[in-house]
Structure formats: structure tokens, C-alpha cells
Structure 1
Amino acid sequence: QTFFLGDEINLKVIFKEKKSLTSNSPVSIAMPEVKDLLFIKNQKSTQSTDDNYNIHTLSYRLSADNFGTFNIPSAVASIGNQNNNIFGNLSTAKIRKIHSNPLTLTVKPLPDALRIFGDFNIKSSIDKTQATQGKAVNLTVTIHGKGNFEDIQKFSLDIEGATIYSDEAEFSYNQWQQKFAIVGGQDFVIPSFKFDYFDKITQSKKSIATKPISIQIKSKKGVQKPIKKIDQKPSNINDNPPTNNLKYYYLLLGIAIGAFINILFVALKNKQPSKDRSLVNQIKLARGDKALFDLLLPLNMLSLEAILQQLEANIYKNAQHKIRKKDIINAIKFEHKIN
């Protein structure tokens, strides 16, 4: 029999016992061991009869780890028990062995250097289509179906202008899944994921793919309302004030401009610490690793890189790193030298 690498076939071992010779002796069947072949026994055996025989059927699923031609030796049925003789040694006099016919199998490699065999479908899903700058969009790529999921390689994702965190792929007997967290500074498109495999039904190469997904990124800076400018003209008694009064007005105007510049300088100087104090309060109030991760990621601080990696591992890989908010706050204070 011939089949493709990655596929599996059903193998049956049939043991017949003449009704006229039926005994109560136990029967055990040993399957041969063949390199690169795997025999998986089904849970239940079946019993049936015909006119002359009682028939026992054992079913196996057989798969291969390599391609080529395989010679399977005979399966051996042992009938009877091993008993102790009078000297206390095992005696095999009551055991009778029957051998089945040998088999030859041919396992063909998949064409086009394919690695995956089966019947699959693929989809990608996200938790949001709009996000604020610095907030992550969570993406999940899922492959459903039947086949050798353990051989599916993880996808790589590259989006210009975005930071991408990828989880390790996980799989079960009927599903394969990989998760991503994407942080973008502007609108971006999640590209299509293409998956090639050898289709079990059509016995040919098949390509399936997800659809691209557009993500909108909103700026986190608030829009300031325009300040209405009110021009106030000093009330003059005379349309042509004296020259001395005009000099006096210029002096007052110079003083006012100087005071305004000083106030503006102080405000700009204190703006960043005030912002950082607000950030410190947000960090103190953050509940959970995900909220803390979303706060720290947009800061782009080298001193927080190790903490971000630990948070990512806690969120996406079920790690148990202990995160000290005090260390984060100290790093931010040192960076901006605030009290």
C-alpha cells in the first residue's frame, strides 16, 4: 500500500479461531517495531463469527516519520500461559505462537517541498479595529482542521512603523493558534497570512489565506480649543497723546512682554515634570500587568526595556515575573529628574 508522508492508514490484525477448537486460553498479539513507523492501537477490538470461526479484529492507525519503502514483519499471536514448573522456573510448553503475513508499505514525500498534510481552514481575528496611540491591538491567527499540526511553523509578521510582540504557537489535535500584540503609531494594515499544505481530499497542493485587516490609530493628544483673543485698547483722553506719555506706554509694554516670556519659560520648564507626576499616579493606580504594559510601552525608555519584556512574558506566556512599581517610578523620576 502507498500513502503520503503526514497521512495515516488503518491497519487491521485479524485472528481467527475455529469454533470446534475454541479454548479458554488467553491470546496476546505483539506488533513488530519498525523504525520511522508508528502503530497506534484503537481502544476497542471487535468480535464476530462466521460458519466456522470466531473472529477477533484489532485495529491500528499507522503513520510514518519519514518517506521510503518499509517492510513490516509478521505480527505474532501468543496462545496460552507461562507456568512455573516444579523447579520454580518459567515453562513455555503451553504457549503456541502464530505468525501473520508480512507487509510492504511505500510512503511518498510531499511534492513542492511541502511539510503539512491534511484538511485545514485558516482565519485571523482582532479585538479592535480602532486603537489609541500606544495601545496594543491583539491579533489571533487560527488554523482548524485535521493533520500534522505539530509540524506547522509559526508565522512572522512585519508592519512598518509598528512594534510587534509574538507569542509561541500552541496546538491541539484539531487546532493550531498563534497570537500577536501590535502597537502602531499610525494607521496600518495587518497583511494576509498564507498557508500552503498538501490537501488530503484533492491529493494536491492547496493554498489558503486570511484577509488583510485595516486598523485605525487615533492620536492620544487632546485637541485644544482655540483661545479667543480680545483686543483691549487703552482709553485715551486725547487722540494725540504727549510724547512723554507715549514713552511711558512703551515702557509698560516692554515690562509686560518680559513678564510674559518669564512666565512662559517657567511653564514650559515645569510641563514635563507635571506630566510625569500624572504618569506616576497612573502607574500607582494601574491594575494588572496589561494596564501597566499599555502605560509603559509608549514611553520608549531604555531603562524600562527589561520590565516591558517581563510584563510581555506575564501577559502572553503565562510567566510569573514579579513587577515592582517602585522600580518603575524611580526609573521615570531619574529620567526626568522630578521629585
Structure 2
Amino acid sequence: MIMIRFLFLSIIFITSLFSDVRLDLPKNSIKGEALNFSITISGNDIVLPKLDLIASNSVHEISSSISTNIVNSKIIRSIKKVYSFYPQKDFIFPSLKFIIDGKEYFTKERKIVLKTLGKTKSSLFDLSIKVNKKELYVSENFLLTLVFKYKKNPNIVDLSFEKPNFDNFWYKQLKESKQYEEKGFIVQELKFLLFPLKEGVLKINPLKINARLFVNDSSSVFSNKMSNIRIYSNELELDIKKLPSNINLIGDFDIKTKVDKTKIKQGEAVSFKLEINANGNIDDISDIKLNLDNATVYENKPKIETKYENGKYIGKYTKVFSIVPNKSIIIPKINLEYFDKKTRTVILKQSDEIKINVVQDSVLTTNQLIQKPIAKIKEKEVIKVIEKISIKDRIIFFTLGIIAGILILGLYLYVIKYKVKRKSNDTPLLKRVKKAKNKNELLKILAVYIKIDSSLDKLIFQLENENDIKLIKKDVVKRIKEINL
């Protein structure tokens, strides 16, 4: 009797375990695709395990829902969470620990085997991928073409291309695409430009397209039912070779520089433009800096323009610097190294060295004063004249005084109004300049206006070497008004 009671309690315990925690996990998964699993927990006080990593793979929660049920007059909360991650090889799904209403529950470990699917064989569909070369170097671009064929069939309801996950490759989808008919099939081509990120034998896993179509089902009340089909392409292997050490560019590159002038006055700015044209991985060019002694350098962000044309990935890297030299300087050569696949050598390209001459302003000084002899002033005889003023003249003078007072008051009001109007007509730049409290604030405001006006450039240069900015600030305000900035 005791044994039967023990077995009965054990069955109740096991049943309650599976009713409180349920893990839905597929036995197998497809390599290169997401593995989704769900956890359903019932209880009031629930503590979930931390699920950030499983078998060194990052796990992401993709959905969560909460429901409430009443069982035997008790309110029971139920939580369902769905997670996803991308396993790269066979692994052991670990045991998970849950605390529900103060009790600990554990799921069982489970081995997950990854399957590699082959190309789908179907009379309705065909999906294949091909590349224009299989032996290449790290960062060398190549073209991958996806060709999808499907038969004209009214039962095909929907087709969707699943975004590829090109592991170990950087890629971009090209705008070039084709659609045409061939032997009863509709053919669609998509093109991708890929760049391998590491050396070795790299695989491109099969790409996938999802299809929905109606199929006949004699066992169903309705003659047709909806079916979801996954269509897989072939996989590819590429042999990727390592680039020479300290080299990350491959292709054909050309570098050139130019300035808008080579002779300037002190305080003026020189515009220095750097341009690199390439047939290769121009996106991998590191940001080029310009460090010059005896000069202040301002720079813009580099601009990179690329396109795929006539089977080549070509582009242009442009960067503009504004240089304010303190004295004559030399802009040194800029080096650019890349690997030439044709000659299998590292090539060094250099820009030209450019000399900038700064002409000092000549200042004329005079230490001698030209003095003229002082003429003797003759004493003049002062004659006093006493005039009598009549009442009529006094009335006239009084009237004229009132008129003069009115005119002076009107002129005073006009000047005040003009000043207020003039102040309100100040441009945003003038307002910012006038509000600047120190040299650094004023330099930040004016730095972006270098190269617009040579006189303004000179004032900015003087500002860098002066601590008292009051006089220069007035000249800056005056010049900004003259050039209408």
C-alpha cells in the first residue's frame, strides 16, 4: 500500500513538472539557418535562467507573451518566450534551471545535429548560385550571381527571397537584376558583390527562397490546401589567400594632390585636395591625416564614391584640407601601398611634394617727425562792441530756440531708432561673433569661414596669436558686414 502511494505521488510530481515547464526544441537544425526554440512556464513567482549564450552562440529573444488562467480557484500565470540563434556546428543544448513558486526545475540536456542541405530538386523550381572566380585574395572583390527559375503555374501564390547570411564575407547587393522567360520558366537573376574577410577555404552556404502554393489533397474536405516549400541552392567553396603583411588594399590605385595656390600672404589659407582613384577595395582606405609643423590644418570628412561598372568595382576617395601656414612650408608626399594581383607585388604610389611660399607683409615705420617752424603770433587789438537787443529780436531768438530744440529731440529719437533697427538686422553670424567671450569661442565660430575672404582669413590668423580680442573682434564684425556673411 505504501509502495502504491509512493508511485502515485511520483506520477503527480512528474506530471506537475511537465505542466509547469515545457521546452520546445527541434531535434535537428539546418546549418546556416536560425534555430528557434520556445519555453512555456506556468506559475505565479517565476525566475527565468539567463539566456545570452548557448554553445558560444549569441541568443536573441524574438517574442514574448503572458496569459492568465484560473485553475481550482487559483490564478496561474503562464509565460511563453521564443528565442533564436545561429549554431555553426553540432552542439549540446544545456540543462536550464527555472525557479517556480520557490521550487527548482531543470530541463534535460539534448544533442543537436546540424544538417547540411543539398540543392533542391523540383520540377517547378530551380535555385543556383555561381561566382566569376574561386581563387582570390583577402579583400579582393568577386561577383556572385543568384539564378532562380520557377515554372508558370497558377498554384504558386507567393515567393520570398530570404536575406542571405554570407559568413566571413562583406557584401553588397548590386542594383543590376534581370527577369526573362526561358523554356516555360520565369528566370530571375540577382547579383551580389562580395569581399572575403579572412584567408582559407571559405564556404558560401546554400541560399534559400520560400514558396507558398496550393496542392491537391483528397483527404481534405476542401480540394486544395496551402503548402509552404523551402527551395535551396547549391553551396560553393572558395580558396582565399592571405595578403602580404601590413597591406589591406588590393587592385589598382592612383593618388594625386593639388592646391589652389602656392604663393600666399601671411594669414591666408590654402585649399589642399587629395584624390585617390581605384579599381579595388577602396572602401578599406584608412582615414588619411595631414600633420604639418608651423601650420594650422582644418579637414573635411573623406568622401568615397563607388560603382560596379563593366565587371569592375571602381571608386574615388576625396578629402579636402584647409591649411593656414605661419611661414613657408612644404606639404610632404603622401604614401599609398597596395597589392597588385597581376604582378603579385606590393606597389607604392606617392603624391607630389608641394611647396607653399608665405610672403611677409612689409610694414613702413617712420622715426623722424617733420617739424615746421612755428610762426610768431602777433597780438591783435580786441575791440569790445556792445549791442542792444530789441523785444522783437528776443521773440525771434526764442522761437528759433524752440524749433532748434524740437529738431535736436527728433534727431535724437531717430538715432536711437536707427541703432535698434541696425541691431535687429544683425545676421546670425554677427550675433554669435558679438556674443563670443574669449578667443577660443571666436575661433570655433570663424573656423568654418576660412577660405571665403582673404582679409577675413588674415584677421582669423591674427586672432590665433592675440590674447586681447576686442580690437580684432571689431575688425572681424566690420569685415563680415562688408562681405555680407
Q: TM-score, normalised by structure 1?
A: 0.59
Change in CA separation of 1:186 and 1:67 when aligned onto 2, cut-off 3 Å: same
SS of the residue corresponding to residue 305 of structure 1 reads helix
1:46-125 aligned within 5 A: 46-47=179-180, 49=182, 55-81=187-213, 93-125=226-258
Paired AA for residue 172 in structure 2 = I
Q: Which residue of 2 aligns with 1:235?
A: none
Report percent identity of matched pairs.
23
Deviations 1:230-254 (A, max 9, x none): xxxxxxxxxxxxxxxxxxxxxxxxx
* Equivalent-residue separation in structure 2 for 1:215 and 1:70 (angstroms): 51
Match in the other structure for 1:37: 169
Counterparts of 2:161 and 2:181 in 1: how far apart (Å)?
A: 17
1:312 aligned onto 2:458: no
Number of equivalences: 250
Alignment correspondent of 2:296: 163
C-alpha distance in 1, partners of 2:273/2:317? 10
Contact 2:212-2:226 within 8 A present in 1 as well = no
Distance verdict in 2 for CA 1:41–1:134, change over 3 Å: closer
User: How far apart are residue 219 of structure 1 and its match?
Assistant: 0.8
Kindly provide the CA deviation profile for residues 285-313 of structure 1, in whole angstroms up to 9, marking residues without a partner as x: xx998xxx9xxxxxxxxx51342134225
After superposition, the C-alpha distances for 1:87-137 in whole angstroms (9 at most, x for unaligned) are xxxx97434443322112233332132122333221111111111112222
- Greater relative contact order: 1 or 2 (C-alpha under 8 angstroms, separation 6 or more)? 1
Change (3 A) 1:40 1:140: closer
Q: Would you say 1:213 and 2:354 are equivalent positions?
A: yes
Matched, 1:23 2:153: yes
Structure 2 alignment gaps of length 5 or more:
1-133, 218-223, 307-314, 371-426, 452-459, 473-485
The verdict on how the C-alpha distance between 1:46 and 1:310 changes in structure 2, with shifts beyond 3 A counting, is same
Structure ranking higher in strand proportion:
2
Give the conservation status (yes or no) of the 8 Å contact 1:154–1:178.
Answer: no
Residue identity in the other structure for 1:124? T
Q: Deviations over 1:37-69 (max 9, x none)?
A: 24533432243536x866543332222344443
Counterpart secondary structure, 1:309 = helix
Q: Secondary structure at the match of 1:308?
A: helix
Amino acid paired to 2:165: E
1-structure distance, mates of 2:336, 2:240: 23
**Closer, same or farther: CA 221–304 of 1 in aligned 2, 3 Å:** farther
Sort the Cα spacing of 1:105 and 1:181 in 2 relative to 1 into closer, same or farther, 3 A: same
Q: In 1, are the aligned partners of 2:274 and 2:319 still within 8 Å (CA)?
A: yes
Look up the SS of the partner of 1:311 in the other structure. Answer: helix
Partner residue, 2:323: 182
2:301 match: secondary structure: coil
In angstroms, what is the RMSD of aligned CA positions?
Answer: 4.3
Change in Cα spacing, 1:14 to 1:221, as seen in structure 2 (3 Å) is same
**Pairing 1:295-334 to 2, within 5 Å after superposition:** 303-313=438-448, 331-333=468-470
Q: Distance in 1 between matches of 2:195 and 2:225?
A: 34
Separation of aligned partners in 1, 2:225 and 2:145 = 28
Aligned to 1:193: 334
Task: Decide whether the 8 Å contact of 2:251 with 2:341 is kept in 1.
Answer: yes
**Corresponding residue number in structure 2 for 1:240:** none
CA distance in 2, matches of 1:217, 1:307: 25
CA distance in 2, matches of 1:35, 1:93: 33
Equivalent in the alignment of 1:11 = 144
Distance 1:215-1:58 versus aligned 2 partners, 3 A rule? closer
Q: Is the 8 A contact 2:212 2:229 kept in 1?
A: yes
- Describe the shift of the 1:96–1:334 C-alpha distance in structure 2 as closer, same or farther (beyond 3 A): closer
Measured after TM superposition, the shift of residue 8 of structure 1 is 1.8
Which residue matches 2:286? 153
Matched, 1:130 2:263: yes
Residue 239 of structure 1 is matched in structure 2 by none
2:243 maps to a residue whose letter is L
Q: Which amino acid aligns with 1:170?
A: K
**How far off its partner does 1:33 sit?**
1.6
* Closer, same or farther: CA 190–47 of 1 in aligned 2, 3 Å: same
- Name the amino acid aligned to 2:208: V
Give the deviation of 1:82 after TM superposition: 7.3
Residue 469 of structure 2 aligns with an amino acid whose one-letter code is: I
1:218 Cα offset (Å): 0.7
In structure 2, the CA distance between the partners of 1:109 and 1:12, relative to structure 1 (3 Å rule), is same
In structure 2, how many angstroms separate the alpha carbons of the residues matched to 1:72 and 1:78? 19
Instruction: Name which of 193, 204, 216 aligns with 2:345.
Output: 204
State the partner residue of 2:455.
none
Structure index of larger Rg = 2
